[in-house]
Amino acid sequence: MKIKTCFFILLYFFLLSINLFAQNRYALVIGNANYNTIERLTNPVNDATDVASKLRTLGYQVQLKTNIGNVELNRAINDYIQLLARNSNNEGFFWFAGHGVQIDGENYLLPIDVDHTDDISVKFSSYPVNKLIDSFEYTARNKINVVVLDACRNNPFRNMSGRFRSLSRGLTLLTGLPPDLFVIYSTAAGDVAADGNSGKRNSPFAEAFIKNMDSTEDLSLVVRNITRETLQMTNNRQRPYHEGSIIGFEYYSLNPRKATTQAPIQTSQAPIQNSSAVIPNEITRENRVQENIPQNFDDYLPLHLVSEPPKFNEQQVLRNLVYPVQARSSGTEGRVILELFVDSSGKIQKINTLLENPQGNGFGEAAVKLFTGRIITPAKLDGKAVAARMRYPINFRL
């Protein structure tokens, strides 16, 4: 009887952990291959299906859409943005495989029913990538978004008689990206990506991407591996590219399992883990923690080197946040990212303001004041309290 009881208790907590593991990661994965009137593609549906399957094993709640037209493409993206907007702690992953074009310096994702009469018709019957980026920044306003565009195939209109004077080869780079948005292209700007060899289930880029999704390394390192493997499979003809920045995190991986042991833990009592300080390669865990309270702030451990991050009751602390009077009277909202240096006793010794947007409204000052003189639970390394630094974002919302 006791064995059965223990079994059901363990099963309950296992299922609970799965639910918590997946609760704030959302993905929209799109694969368009069977275009109605332009060149069809071989691999996008397979690529999207396999990426979606892998994301589910990594704890993402996934919406998979294949071979969709303009109306459904717009609806799917709009629903996805609204889903992300429900909670500022939500994490997003967006994948599009299919035809994509550059017109007048702007990127467009093509639905299967795109109107190819001329470049103007293509614009109005496709989805602008800039609209997607703006939706992340101004509507979703969630914690982080990863966007993957495997949409740089050959010009699908090259054999057609329509007027396409403004259409350029491949996709162009995006400008003015908001913080914590990481964009990965299957090939370099202005270049084209391979759709895959005959008999292969996936395109070279998708094959390399899927292979590396289980990695618990930082995303920037994972992209390097994807780039190297894609180059190998294409005889150096296709070089993936990425842009954007993840400043709200010191360490970010598509596979969050490492977060339970090395990366910062995100719970109601654990702040969001982040820091952009570069750790010299020759410095290891062992020689960084010899001193109980380092004299040099560079010696405060980054969170990916500790066993447990600093902790505090987030709701209790944020109740003391004072909204700047000037910002409230003008109806202005903002975002601040702080870097906190927490010594081994839990005292916050130093506070840096890494981001204040917009400036001049008192958001940075209010955020710093919230943590000044505060004592929290320190970070731990192998059960011992250590000095560590962490990033913490604060969103000011009316």
How far apart, in whole angstroms, are the C-alpha atoms of residue 334 and residue 323?
A: 10
**Segments forming the whole domain that contains residue 335:** 264-396
φ and ψ of 99, to 5 deg: -80, 140
Per-residue confidence (pLDDT) for residue 289, from 0 to 100: 40
Handedness of CA 122, 110, 90, 182 (dihedral sign): negative
- Radius of gyration (Cα) for the chain, nearest Å? 23
DSSP for residue 359: S
Contacts of 84 (CB under 8 A, 6+ apart): 26, 90, 92, 136, 140, 142, 145
| Three-class secondary structure of residue 58 per DSSP | coil
pLDDT tops 70 at residue 11 = no
Write out pLDDT tens, residues 306-355.
778 888 888 888 888 999 998 998 989 888 888 899 999 999 999 988 88
Asked if residues 134 and 177 have their Cβ atoms less than 8 Å apart, the reply is no
pLDDT tops 50 at residue 35 = yes
Q: How long, in residues, is the chain?
A: 398
CA angle 223, 224, 227 (to 5 degrees): 85
> How far are the Cα atoms of 116, 275, 283, 395 from residue 44, in angstroms, in the given order?
20, 36, 43, 37
For residues 107 and 217, membership in a common domain is answered with yes
Residue 255 lies in a domain: no
For residues 177 and 95, membership in a common domain is answered with yes
Number of separate domains in the chain: 2
The predicted model gives 84-111 an average pLDDT of 92
For residues 171 and 215, membership in a common domain is answered with yes
CB atoms within 10 A of CB 252: 23
pTM, two decimals, is 0.64
Residue 257 lies in a domain: no
Q: Please name which of 199, 111, 103 lies closest in space to residue 155, comparing C-alpha atoms.
A: 103
For residues 94 and 197, membership in a common domain is answered with yes
CB atoms within 10 A of CB 73: 24
Contacts of 85 (CB under 8 A, 6+ apart): 139, 140, 141, 142
Residue 360 lies in a domain: yes
For residues 270 and 224, membership in a common domain is answered with no
User: Band of the pLDDT at 170, cuts 50, 70, 90?
Assistant: low
Residue 204 lies in a domain: yes
Residue 205 lies in a domain: yes
Q: Please name which of 384, 381, 383, 385 lies closest in space to residue 285, comparing C-alpha atoms.
A: 381
Write out pLDDT tens, residues 352-380.
888 888 888 899 999 999 999 899 999 88
Q: Please name which of 160, 140, 234 lies closest in space to residue 196, comparing C-alpha atoms.
A: 234
How far apart, in whole angstroms, are the C-alpha atoms of residue 300 and residue 381?
A: 12
The predicted model gives 178-201 an average pLDDT of 77
How far apart, in whole angstroms, are the C-alpha atoms of residue 396 and residue 398?
A: 7
User: Band of the pLDDT at 286, cuts 50, 70, 90?
Assistant: very low
Per-residue confidence (pLDDT) for residue 299, from 0 to 100: 82
Q: Which of 192, 211, 245 is a domain's end point?
A: 245
Write out pLDDT tens, residues 114-156.
998 888 889 999 999 989 998 998 899 899 999 999 987 566 7
Lowest-pLDDT range of 220-234, 288-302, 328-342: 288-302
- We report the CATH number of the domain holding residue 364 as 3.30.1150
For residues 89 and 41, membership in a common domain is answered with yes
